[in-house]
Structure 1
Amino acid sequence: MNTAAQRPEVHTRLHYMDNLRALAMLTGVVFHAALAYSVLAHPFWPTADKGQSLIVDAFAWFVHLFRMPLFFVVAGFFAALLVQKRGIGGMLKNRFMRIVLPLIAFWPLVYFSMSWLIRTAITEVEHLSPLLQMIKPWLANPQAPSAPPTLVHLWFLAYMMCFCILVWVASTLELHKHFARLDRALSAWTPMKTVGLVPLLLMPALFDVPAPFPAPESFFPQWWAILFYGTYFLIGFRLFHQGQWLEQLSPFAPRLLLISLLAYALFLYLLQTNGMAKPDLLLQAVLVLLQAYIGYWMTLVCIIFGQRWLDKPRGALRYIADASYWVYLVHLPLIFVIQIPLMDVNLHWGVKLSLSLCATLGIAFLTYHLFVRSHLLGKFLNGNNLSSKTA
């Protein structure tokens, strides 16, 4: 199955993969901006506003189930492309330059700016969110222990590099030879059999975390995240070598989308009715099952539709793809800067969400265009991959 004929040409621009990666990152901006007006996220989001809506929950948690899985599939796909193009060593060097160095450079700026913003909000905002109300006396106590630092929203960079290192380990140990029989068995699966069985492999990882599954922001690797997102990374890695698999699955994409939407309606209903209570074992199993299948099926739907509609060299989409890395790195502090003053403003939640989202994206794209794209920072983030500056 892994013949060279089935792999994309390494010098061919994979526009739909670039665009899917960009859209996954930009969806993250929308998701984080929306959490301030979510009913479910209200108890634990720092900028949670007094205005909330179930409409926000319906959108936010739906995209949450497949946004990062899609991103890791794309990451695995590009890792396989780099291995074929440059070898294992070249892939690791590229990933170190594009992942590790930006993480080292941006993490202190993001983490300490957000810490300062939270402290500022506690002292200046009148209508504090439940989380800030809980933090306020803790910060006022000089004897209180310091909270351990987290990777904040940059956690995906650490896990992506971890998976690339695991590819190198597997290649060095020649593990493909030991699992050749298993690989042949998996390759023999029909697309629909894969659609039905792969989510079952994702379920064990989700049993250990609440629903919807959280972001693994800790500096210590979390086994569930390695297993869960690592499976998606492996799916993308294999997808590079088995492109015909998507073609066989393409006719079923509308049905997968419809079933996913129906399954999500049930998932959201169960979340709303259970509230903050810890689910019993049966309910937890149902929530895990729904998350695994919705996330996997919607990831496939996005890739199939992306290949169908986004695989063209469009200047605007390429510009967004180039800018998306910078936008995602800086967006969360920008959201906090904008939403913290809005917590005391008496406006409809929809107006606040629109203001915070438009201002965040506007500032992020403007700073990218003025200070990043044509400068050293742009090369640092995007390498030599910038195309013509049309858009």
Structure 2
Amino acid sequence: MNAPAQMPEANERFHYMDNLRALAMLTGVVFHTALAYSVLAHPFWPTADRGQSLIVDAFAWFFHLFRMPLFFVVAGFFAALLVQKRGMGGMLKNRFMRIILPLLVFWPLVYFSMGWLIRLAITDVENLSPLLQVIKPWLDNPQAPTAPPTLAHLWFLPYVMCFCILVWVASTLEWNEHLSWLDSWLDALTPMKKVCLVPLALMPALFAVPAPFPAPESFFPQWWALLFYGAYFLIGFRLFHQARWIDQLSLFAPRLLLLSLLAYALFLYLLRINGAIKPDLSLQAILVLLQAYTGYWMTLVCIIFGRRWLDAHHGFLRYIADASYWVYLIHLPLIFAIQIPLMDVNLHWSVKLSLSLCATLSIAFLTYHLFVRGRLLGKFLNGNNSDTKTSCAKTSAS
């Protein structure tokens, strides 16, 4: 009933995982672009537009529930691969080069450019968003305290590094031997029992935050994010050593997809009818349960279908995978720069969304092709030159 753990070859390539990482990052670009036209995000998004639609909410928040969980599964998977290929020290060195150094370089550029764009919007835009209307008098008041800086959309980088360090700590303390009983218990479960039980372990973390769960952008690690995304990182780390589990789940993929859609539909309905009112304990428990199951099941669905359809070397997908890190790093200031002038333009929300998304992706990929690919900056972000065949592990946890 349960297949033994399968150890992949150290030089084996996992194209589907690298492609899933890229898709998770590009979905983040779509998500952040769509927030300007979301009803739920309207009160707190800087470039929130007058045009809003529940259609945007239906798609955007669905992606939100599983795009970062999927990313952390991929990050854990490739952390395990790097440990096997290079040892624990090699893994930590690789992650420092691909994660911490880019964070140190790009965070100041992203943070200060976004601050400048927000100030520009407050000065030049007539139809300010609700959040900018709150920020405007605060900025005009010289006595107002300075807002603490945030990591913005780069918050995931230190969390990935933190989880890699915890892997090293667990290895040093030989926790795998102390917790062997837990591994044995998990291995004895049928695949569907794991599918049903794991989301329950995610619920305590989600109880600590409102629904939909926010991005932990603070410079200080948040315990709920450590537990929540750490669980997904651990799932990915174990998945590398037990890849046959995905084969066992393949037959259940359509069922998991259908259940995910039903759970999300109920989640969105309850969220919508509750409005801005803080939910009571029973409703909060239902929302947490629906988020946990939708996110986990859809993460599994993506991995199953990704392994089925994306596990091959393809020139176009390889290019997208190589470019995705750069695209994600720079996309949010681009979105702000494009959407701020559109706030005063009288166009349908769908036109504005299409224009801002196409312009953001076009500029991001063009700058990658002209200034990053095959150049020193490309090597800095992706390791070895990405023009030729490269190991799919090089950027997958970046």
| TM-score of the superposed pair, with normalisation by structure 2 | 0.96
Q: Is the 8 A contact 1:2 1:241 kept in 2?
A: no
Within 5 A, what are the aligned runs for 1:294-373? 294-373=294-373
1:209 match: 209
CA distance in structure 2 between the partners assigned to 1:240 and 1:292 by the alignment: 22
Which of 179-188 and 329-338 deviates more? 179-188
Instruction: Tell me the CA shift for residue 7 of structure 1.
Output: 2.2
**CA-to-partner distance for each residue in 1:220-273, whole Å, 9 max, x for gaps?**
000000000000000000000001111011100000000110111100101110
CA distance in structure 1 between the partners assigned to 2:246 and 2:387 by the alignment: 28
CA distance in structure 1 between the partners assigned to 2:146 and 2:381 by the alignment: 32
Q: Note closer, same or farther for the CA distance 1:385–1:304 as it changes in structure 2 (3 Å cut).
A: farther
1:175 match: 175
Instruction: Tell me the CA shift for residue 184 of structure 1.
Output: 1.1
Tell me how many residue pairs correspond in the alignment.
Answer: 389
Q: Which amino acid aligns with 1:237?
A: F
Instruction: Tell me the CA shift for residue 8 of structure 1.
Output: 2.2
Instruction: Tell me the CA shift for residue 2 of structure 1.
Output: 9.9
Give the secondary structure class of the aligned counterpart of 1:277: coil
1:227 match: 227
Give the secondary structure class of the aligned counterpart of 2:155: helix
Instruction: Tell me the CA shift for residue 385 of structure 1.
Output: 5.7
Within 5 A, what are the aligned runs for 1:77-226? 77-226=77-226
Which of 213-222 and 186-195 deviates more? 186-195
CA distance in structure 1 between the partners assigned to 2:20 and 2:385 by the alignment: 16
CA distance in structure 1 between the partners assigned to 2:3 and 2:286 by the alignment: 36
CA distance in structure 1 between the partners assigned to 2:230 and 2:36 by the alignment: 29
Instruction: Tell me the CA shift for residue 387 of structure 1.
Output: 4.5
- Structure 1's consecutive aligned runs of 4 or more residues displaced over 3 angstroms after TM superposition are none
CA distance in structure 2 between the partners assigned to 1:385 and 1:57 by the alignment: 39
CA distance in structure 1 between the partners assigned to 2:301 and 2:194 by the alignment: 14
Give the secondary structure class of the aligned counterpart of 2:345: coil
Q: Which amino acid aligns with 1:152?
A: A
CA distance in structure 2 between the partners assigned to 1:242 and 1:350 by the alignment: 43
1:9 match: 9
Q: Which amino acid aligns with 1:28?
A: G
Give the secondary structure class of the aligned counterpart of 1:272: helix
For structure 1, list consecutive stretches of 5 or more residues without a partner in the other structure: none
1:276 match: 276
Q: Which amino acid aligns with 1:178?
A: H
Instruction: Tell me the CA shift for residue 388 of structure 1.
Output: 2.5
| TM-score of the superposed pair, with normalisation by structure 1 | 0.98
Give the secondary structure class of the aligned counterpart of 1:332: helix
Q: Which amino acid aligns with 1:371?
A: F
CA distance in structure 2 between the partners assigned to 1:10 and 1:140 by the alignment: 58
Q: Which amino acid aligns with 2:258?
A: L
CA distance in structure 1 between the partners assigned to 2:283 and 2:185 by the alignment: 33
| Pairing 1:21–2:21 present | yes
**CA-to-partner distance for each residue in 1:182-232, whole Å, 9 max, x for gaps?**
111112211100000000000000001000000000000000000000000
CA distance in structure 2 between the partners assigned to 1:68 and 1:298 by the alignment: 11
CA distance in structure 1 between the partners assigned to 2:3 and 2:225 by the alignment: 28
| Pairing 1:63–2:63 present | yes
For structure 2, list consecutive stretches of 5 or more residues without a partner in the other structure: 390-398
Please report the RMSD computed on the Cα atoms of aligned residues, expressed in angstroms.
Answer: 1.3
2:393 match: none
Q: Which amino acid aligns with 1:262?
A: L
Q: Which amino acid aligns with 1:121?
A: A
Give the secondary structure class of the aligned counterpart of 1:6: coil
Instruction: Tell me the CA shift for residue 309 of structure 1.
Output: 0.4
CA distance in structure 1 between the partners assigned to 2:233 and 2:314 by the alignment: 27
CA distance in structure 2 between the partners assigned to 1:70 and 1:141 by the alignment: 42
1:39 match: 39
**CA-to-partner distance for each residue in 1:55-91, whole Å, 9 max, x for gaps?**
0000000000000000000000000000011000000
Instruction: Tell me the CA shift for residue 374 of structure 1.
Output: 1.1
Instruction: Tell me the CA shift for residue 386 of structure 1.
Output: 1.7
Q: Is the 8 A contact 2:3 2:244 kept in 1?
A: no
CA distance in structure 2 between the partners assigned to 1:386 and 1:128 by the alignment: 42
Question: Percent identity at matched positions?
Answer: 82
Which of 271-280 and 229-238 deviates more? 271-280
CA distance in structure 1 between the partners assigned to 2:75 and 2:199 by the alignment: 19
